[in-house]
Amino acid sequence: MPELPDVELYLSALRPRVVGRAVERVRVSSPFFVRTFDPPLASIEGKVIHTLTRVGKRLVWALDADLFLVVHLMIAGRLRWKEKGAAIPAKVGLAAFDFSDATLLFTEAGSRKQASMHLVRGAQAVAAMDPGGAEIFAMSPAQFAAALRSGNHTLKRSLTDPHLFSGIGNAYSDEILHAAQLSPVKLTHALSDDEIARLFDATRSVLQYWLRLLQEETGDAFPEKVTAFRPGMAVHGRYGKPCPRCGAPIQRIVYARNESNYCAACQTGGRLLADRALSRLLRDDWPKTLEDLERARRR
């Protein structure tokens, strides 16, 4: 799922290309993509785009006549900048906005069509769609601590809760927790003041690093490879590979359609974490430490 650094990358690429320009034509191929009917999406044809902003992981377009487009790409949604009149891809295409010299394509891989577009009137309607999570770069350390301690949940859940923090998802939460050397399943009420301070610094530094790196890699081009799995990541998507800090193999917990990647040596004191289904299946055979895991592999 595109998260804060990825959405900001899209915004940086879109602004010089579409702000101040009118949408000439709208084409929609997926009936599931557009979630509103009043005003109709065709009403943005001929309207000028004034600003592009971000609300959490959503892209917000402000147009003439107090109209706002709110786009949530979800897990597999992506944007493509193509030549004018480019065809909407048959299998992954959702919609297209035609401009005077180019076309913006909305695509989504996979069979689960979760990406969405809402067209609403007025800034209040946009605000009603905001989950309310705070922007990490606008928070003080005290505000960050208060948000974490407002409930008692695992760090992984808290960091990815859009009602607490804006724009952080599965991938960057893994990277943040590795940088802070904290377990993804540690409960927020069990955190010391020093651990919260470390997590605050890690959250800001990891997001800032990827914001800068993605912008530098893309330059003036339109981003074509927005992905949750990048070679430079420390733990996310690197199951079984060596931790860049200590060399121990990266571990994972799989749950639902997501997974949490971590280094047991750096983050959990060498203890292996088990997802509920796997620990129930293996019971007493589940290795509890890295040493147990190595012994099991040698059998």
pLDDT tens-digit profile, the chain (299 residues): 799 999 999 999 999 999 999 999 999 999 899 999 999 999 999 999 999 999 999 999 999 999 999 999 999 999 999 999 999 999 999 999 999 999 999 999 988 889 999 999 999 999 999 999 999 999 999 999 999 999 999 999 999 999 999 999 999 999 999 999 999 999 999 999 999 999 999 999 999 999 999 999 999 999 998 998 999 999 999 999 999 999 999 999 987 667 899 999 999 999 999 765 544 444 444 455 555 444 444 45
67-72 vs 93-98, strand pairing mode? unpaired
CATH code of the domain in which 50 resides: 3.20.190.10
| Statement to judge: residues 161 and 294 lie in one domain | yes
**Cβ(49)–Cβ(19) below 8 Å:** yes
CATH code of the domain in which 277 resides: 1.10.8.50
Please report, for residues 153, 253, 282, the alpha-carbon distance to residue 276 in angstroms, rounded to integers and kept in the order given: 16, 9, 10
| Statement to judge: residues 142 and 278 lie in one domain | yes
In this prediction, residue 291 carries a pLDDT of: 53
| Statement to judge: residues 119 and 165 lie in one domain | no
Say how many domains are in the chain: 2
| Statement to judge: residues 45 and 81 lie in one domain | yes
Choose one of 127, 158, 193: the last residue of a domain: 127
| Statement to judge: residues 61 and 197 lie in one domain | no
Choose one of 93, 127, 161: the last residue of a domain: 127
Residues 118, 126: Cα–Cα separation, whole Å: 9
In this prediction, residue 1 carries a pLDDT of: 77
Residues 254, 274: Cα–Cα separation, whole Å: 9
> How many other CB atoms are there within 10 angstroms of residue 246's CB atom?
10
| Statement to judge: residues 148 and 110 lie in one domain | no
Boundaries of domain holding 158 = 136-298
| Statement to judge: residues 151 and 83 lie in one domain | no
| Statement to judge: residues 104 and 161 lie in one domain | no
| Statement to judge: residues 93 and 222 lie in one domain | no
Choose one of 72, 107, 127: the last residue of a domain: 127
CA of residue 266 relative to chain centroid, distance? 24
